[in-house]
Amino acid sequence: MSANGTKTWFDQQPRIDLGQSPTPLEPLDRLSEELGGPRIWLKRDDCTGLATGGNKTRKLEYLMADALAQEADCIVTYGAVQSNHARQTAAACAKLGLPCHLILSERVPWPYDSYARQGNMLLDRLLGAQIHVCSLDDVAAKRKAVLADLADQGKTVYDIPAGGSSEIGALGYTRCLAELIAQCRDQSINTDLIVHASASAGTQSGLVFGKSLFAMPGRILGINVFHPDPQTLKDRVSNLVQSMTERWPGAALAEAFEVNVNHAYFGEGYGLPTQACIKAIRMAAQMEGLLFDPVYSGKALAALIDQINLGNFSHLNDVVLIHTGGSASLGAYIDAFDE
């Protein structure tokens, strides 16, 4: 934190402690040696603890605090069928004793029965969420119907956008960056490059906002895993960071913000694993004992491995990869790992 009042402002934001933090920052030395590039450090946000953890837990700590402040007695949120955000929201609601409604769209053309029954879908049911599955075209109609039904029941609904990606939710990753900066300082790790999977824009927005807020040297690089047009992701991050600056005018930015996105590892679409992603998941499992997922963190890891192999990071001593979680969905993608 800076000495100009940033810490005071930041600590004043309402937050409920739902997860485990600080999450570990650990070296991947076997993988680093295999690749022969910079030393890879993994920020273990798969260890946040809320129903197997993941990046959405940090967002939900702020979102749920806002929901309770508004005296909400029911939560509604959105995602794809195997949404990590939906699973963590269901867990947060269970922890707080709030009814949870998940509107899940069939947006991923993964043609195996396991996708609709295993992974996050199984956990959503175990966590007691009310699940509403619909086609992508029917999301708006399903949302309208669910909200109307809850209104008829007299419920005060708190509506969370997909991925928890609002100004309030994104603040979770501003907090994560402050935590990461302190860990890097204590371990003498350079923050020249921080890599992560980017989809609904909230994680990257919080990091970008934090980089400007804390004047952190280095670059934030989002690996696009969701948007067919990467400019859409850049625009969403820019707009969300701008909304954060407007919501918290007292948080004077120390530098202009920049948005960096790599689209080269998107593959055929969101939720569709690439061969490079599957190979990267196997490498991490067999060389480091770590589990990545084929939708988010696995594609970010594949991007990092390829960029190191290409020599594009050879000038760096350290690179930090944020593990945003998602391994709970591995069972739903069992068919992707057939030999």
The ranges assigned to domains in the chain are: 6-54+166-337, 56-164
Per-residue pLDDT tens over the stretch 102-127: 999 999 999 999 999 999 999 999 99
Is 56-164 the same fold as 6-54+166-337? Answer: yes
**Separation between Cα atoms, residue 174 and residue 169, nearest integer Å:** 10
C-alpha 216, offset from chain centre: 20
Strand 39-44 with 25-27, pairing: antiparallel
Known catalytic membership, residue 83: yes
In which order are the strands placed within the sheet that holds 74-80? 130-134, 100-105, 74-80, 157-159
In contact, 63 and 169? CB cutoff 8 Å: yes
Of the pLDDT bands very low, low, confident and very high (cuts 50, 70, 90), residue 10 is confident
The residue-averaged pLDDT of 255-259 equals 88
Contacts of 236 (CB under 8 A, 6+ apart): 165, 200, 201, 205, 227
Element containing residue 174 per DSSP (H, E): helix 167-187
The residue-averaged pLDDT of 132-136 equals 97
Evaluate whether the domain defined by 56-164 bears CATH number 3.40.50.1100: yes
Q: What are phi and psi of 82, to 5 degrees?
A: -100, 35
Quote the pTM value.
0.96
Sign of the four-CA dihedral 163, 165, 168, 171: positive
Evaluate whether the domain defined by 6-54+166-337 bears CATH number 3.40.50.1100: yes
Q: Which one from 2, 32, 83, 200 is the annotated catalytic residue?
A: 83
Element containing residue 124 per DSSP (H, E): helix 120-126
Per-residue pLDDT tens over the stretch 309-338: 999 999 999 999 999 999 999 999 999 998
**Separation between Cα atoms, residue 299 and residue 115, nearest integer Å:** 18
Q: Which residue has the higher pLDDT, 136 or 3?
A: 136
Q: Is 294 helix (H, G, I), strand (E, B) or coil?
A: coil
**Separation between Cα atoms, residue 239 and residue 207, nearest integer Å:** 14
